[in-house]
Amino acid sequence: MEGSQMNNGLKTVRGACPHDCPDTCALVVTVDQGRAVKVAGAEDHPTTNGFLCTKVNRYLERTYSPQRVLHPMKRAGEKGKGIFKRISWDEALDTIAAKFKEIAANDPQAILPYSYAGTMGLIQSESMDRRFFHKLGASLLDRTICASAGAAGYKATIGASIGTDPERFNEAKLIIIWGSNPITSNVHLWPKILEARRNGAKLIAIDPYRSLTAEKCDEHIALLPGTDGALALALMHVIIKEGLVDRDYIDTYTLGFESLCERVLEYSPSRVAPITGVSEETIIRLAREYAGTKPAIIRLNYGMQRHAGGGMAVRTVACLPALTGAWRSAAGGALLSTSGTFGANTDALQRPDLIWNNPRTINMSAIGDALTGYQRVQSREDISHAPLEKLEPLDPPVSAIYVYNSNPAAIAPDSGKVLAGFKRDNLFTVVHEIFQTDTADYADIVLPATTQLEHFDIHRAYGHLYMLANNPSIEPIGEAKPNSEVFRLLAERMGFEDDCFKDSDEDMARQALDTTHPRMQGISLDDLKERGWIRLNVPEIFAPFAEGNFPTPSGKCEFFSETLAKQGIDPLPVYIPPRETVIDAPELAVKYPLAMISPPAHNFLNSSFANLPSFLKAEKEPRLDIHPQDAASRGINDGDRVRIFNERGAFTVKARVSEKARPGVVVALSVWWKKLTHDGCNANDVTSQALTDLGAAATFYDTLVEVRRV
């Protein structure tokens, strides 16, 4: 059998980790008479390297959990109470199809799909589902909850999400880990980083929080949240002023250096020090060290993106390696995401040609607004400030939402609004899930979903350069069905007759891989299934921009971006402050003087795994890290229960008083299931639905709060 082998009566099957993480590990699943008995990291896959993270190491606890949703159900109590009655698949699908037909007869845009990255597989996350909603004429969903700000910012400078090969990190001499916490969120990069250190590299973390990663680095620069753009501009100021640039690289491969020089004059270290909370001396030393060490890599990531100016911050940081010529080396440059190195025929997969009604697009990060009847509209008065936002009535209102691969009641910002929306009696809600999540409690119909061991898929990655296949290793548990299958069945009930609704999962995988993309050459579905993973068609020593070749409109690294100028955005890097800071929102800060960030807890994967016993045991209970100064001025002692609040809402957790959080910043590691906390609330009760400057992404870490002992 493809991708599987028999050994002593045990079968091993090649799979891929489905989770939203850069590492997309190659898995080997051992099966004993139809039951999976072991999930391990593939020894032969270079980045997986034979080990898994704390979560997927115990994937069987997820697959065989007694908490799994095993059959379709319909609501038998008030919304949110979680009272359900078992029904058949036929009844469930007939109910959904009938309701969708009724709504579509009036205006199909009143139906909204809501999905993100519960699984990252191309088939189970963006294939038959997209075809179905396109044909239906449903509203489109702008999937902005995670990466769209950084992707847009990086694109403006570099052209696409392509960067340094993670497999070359061990050869770097300086690694700046900037707004990224690889020990928790990208653990397979960490051994490479440690190898670099053994070879003499210095590791610097730039993070307002002493994360697991920051505490292991040689230096930790604890800047104020959302001020990364200012810091990067000050670094450029010093690098240019002191002539530490690679003039030849700049002349040959970049655009707009003269205007950049002029712009960075405004960002002297003395001006930027109070903005960032980083001393002038540190800024100057960091600039000299960065420009003077070769090869140097910047691992930039999500921390800096989740603020009003997150897109521009990424764009600005992404200018640095071209200034110093760091791209010349395969072990230099920057890594945000490798996703743009892959090519897949997404048109064949998703069939946007089926769209017939020019439907509106709803931003998933403002789902609270959308479900309560509004849409958030951005406009710009000033090209170098965060966009202004206002709420306009949403017409038609959302009257049905179909949630899969996501848990918006827990993970979307401003949950007070989100839940008010989900509580509406005139909203028809379908939730296709593995578990009875906070969101599933609000469903009219709950459908049981398969885990990765039970379905087929193919995967790209955003933290390495291999395509992967996931061969199913066991039969679906209970009556669970894969996403693709449910949409196939619904399409039939809706009377959608196009041939594409009959494609099998493997048909769709073949269509997705059928591409003329040069880096996808030589990757066939049969080989992928057999071998489990195949490296993209890139050289072993991959230095994507050693000789320019940036995928921008000019083919150069764009310090000056005509594309941004045309969108009414500052064409040059500029510091766009967060919306909620003590400096930028002084009136708000009188009431709510602390900046709150809520990055991932080590043992959870967003809200996934946050319901299972071992992971809950490891995380103990929701906490707030607070600096001793901020605690003392509020009479808070270590271990006290504290209430964190602002105008949007509140949640209550236990305080952990330590120097992990810098003064002025509090940290609530996330994402907890609401129904599993003391007060039914989590960090997203206080986060905001405001969007970023580029990419209209969520601004989870742009949040002022006050904290009180309870």
Ligand X SMILES: Nc1nc2c(c(=O)[nH]1)N[C@H]1C(S)=C(S)[C@@H](COP(=O)(O)OP(=O)(O)OC[C@H]3O[C@@H](n4cnc5c(=O)[nH]c(N)nc54)[C@H](O)[C@@H]3O)O[C@H]1N2
The distance of closest approach from Cβ of residue 578 to ligand X in the complex, given in angstroms and rounded to an integer, is: 8
Q: What is d(CA 115, CA 136) in angstroms, rounded to the nearest whole number? A: 16
Backbone angles phi, psi at 242, to 5 degrees: -90, 5
User: Which residue(s) pair with 457 in the sheet?
Assistant: 470
The reply to whether 180 sits near ligand X by the rule CB under 6 A is yes
Q: Which stretch binds ligand X (CB under 6 A): 5-13, 24-32, 135-143, 202-210?
A: 202-210
Of the candidates 181, 329, 338, 552, which one interacts with ligand X according to CB under 6 A? 181
Opening angle at CA 431, ends 428 and 434, nearest 5: 165
Residues between 139 and 168 with contacts to ligand X, criterion CB under 6 A: 145-146
Select 152 or 304, whichever has its Cβ closest to ligand X: 304
Of the candidates 178, 456, 533, 560, which one interacts with ligand X according to CB under 6 A? 178
The residue whose two tokens read 């697959």 is 63
The torsion of the CA quartet 408, 411, 417, 421, rounded to 10 degrees, works out to 10
The reply to whether 607 sits near ligand X by the rule CB under 6 A is yes
The reply to whether 645 sits near ligand X by the rule CB under 6 A is no
Within 10 A of 531 (CB to CB), how many other CB atoms are there?
17
Of the candidates 13, 304, 469, 694, which one interacts with ligand X according to CB under 6 A? 304
Of the candidates 47, 109, 276, 483, which one interacts with ligand X according to CB under 6 A? 483
Select 141 or 146, whichever has its Cβ closest to Mo ion: 146
Question: Among Mo ion, ligand X, none, what binds residue 206 when CB lies within 5 to 8 Å by partner kind?
Answer: ligand X
Select 20 or 558, whichever has its Cβ closest to ligand X: 20
The distance of closest approach from Cβ of residue 20 to Mo ion in the complex, given in angstroms and rounded to an integer, is: 5
Written as six digits, the tokens of 710 are 């309870």
Query: How far apart, in Å, are the Cα atoms of 271 and each of 37, 277, 571, 584?
Result: 59, 11, 22, 15
By CB neighbour count within 10 A (0-12 exposed, 13-18 middle, 19+ buried), where does 418 fall?
A: buried
Select 339 or 554, whichever has its Cβ closest to Mo ion: 339
Q: Which stretch binds ligand X (CB under 6 A): 188-196, 288-296, 596-604, 636-644?
A: 596-604
Of the candidates 129, 167, 433, 640, which one interacts with ligand X according to CB under 6 A? 433
The reply to whether 92 sits near ligand X by the rule CB under 6 A is no
The reply to whether 653 sits near ligand X by the rule CB under 6 A is no
The reply to whether 503 sits near ligand X by the rule CB under 6 A is no
Q: Which stretch binds ligand X (CB under 6 A): 96-104, 164-172, 426-434, 524-532?
A: 426-434
Buried residues in 284-307 as b, exposed as e (16+ CB within 10 A)? bebbeebbebbbbbbbbbbbbbbb
Written as six digits, the tokens of 530 are 């057999």
Select 183 or 354, whichever has its Cβ closest to Mo ion: 183
Select 118 or 159, whichever has its Cβ closest to ligand X: 118
Tell me if 619 sits within 8 A of 602, measured CB to CB. yes
Within 10 A of 535 (CB to CB), how many other CB atoms are there?
17
Question: Among Mo ion, ligand X, none, what binds residue 233 when CB lies within 5 to 8 Å by partner kind?
Answer: none
Spell out the long-range contacts of 606-610 with Cβ–Cβ below 8 A and sequence spacing 24 or more: 606/20, 606/407, 606/411, 606/671, 607/407, 607/410, 607/411, 607/437, 607/438, 607/671, 607/672, 607/673, 608/19, 608/55, 608/118, 608/407, 609/55, 609/62, 610/410, 610/671, 610/672, 610/673, 610/676
Question: Among ligand X, Mo ion, none, what binds residue 700 when CB lies within 5 to 8 Å by partner kind?
Answer: ligand X
Q: Which amino acid is at 466?
A: Y
Of the candidates 156, 287, 362, 683, which one interacts with ligand X according to CB under 6 A? 683
The reply to whether 437 sits near ligand X by the rule CB under 6 A is yes
The reply to whether 301 sits near ligand X by the rule CB under 6 A is yes
Select 124 or 471, whichever has its Cβ closest to ligand X: 124
Question: Among Mo ion, ligand X, none, what binds residue 701 when CB lies within 5 to 8 Å by partner kind?
Answer: ligand X
The distance of closest approach from Cβ of residue 116 to Mo ion in the complex, given in angstroms and rounded to an integer, is: 8
Select 146 or 348, whichever has its Cβ closest to Mo ion: 146
Q: What is d(CA 232, CA 320) in angstroms, rounded to the nearest whole number? A: 8
3-state secondary structure of 192: helix
3-state secondary structure of 667: strand
Written as six digits, the tokens of 628 are 């001793």
Question: Among Mo ion, ligand X, none, what binds residue 432 when CB lies within 5 to 8 Å by partner kind?
Answer: ligand X
Contacts with Mo ion, residue ranges (CB under 5 A):
146
Q: Which stretch binds ligand X (CB under 6 A): 80-88, 89-97, 592-600, 623-631?
A: 592-600
The reply to whether 434 sits near ligand X by the rule CB under 6 A is yes
Select 552 or 608, whichever has its Cβ closest to ligand X: 608
The reply to whether 132 sits near ligand X by the rule CB under 6 A is no
Select 151 or 196, whichever has its Cβ closest to ligand X: 151
The reply to whether 646 sits near ligand X by the rule CB under 6 A is no
Q: Pairing state of beta strands 623-626 and 650-657?
A: parallel
Query: How far apart, in Å, are the Cα atoms of 533 and each of 335, 343, 351, 520?
Result: 22, 15, 26, 13
Q: What is d(CA 254, CA 238) in angstroms, rounded to the nearest whole number? A: 19
The reply to whether 470 sits near ligand X by the rule CB under 6 A is no
> Running DSSP on this structure, what letter comes out for residue 271?
H
> Running DSSP on this structure, what letter comes out for residue 114?
E
**Is the four-CA dihedral 556, 559, 562, 566 of positive or negative sign?**
positive
Q: Which residues bind to ligand X, rule: CB under 6 A?
A: 20-21, 116-119, 124, 145-146, 178-181, 184-185, 206-209, 211, 225-226, 228, 301-304, 307, 404-407, 411, 432-435, 437, 449, 483, 597-600, 602, 604-608, 670-671, 683-684, 687, 700-701
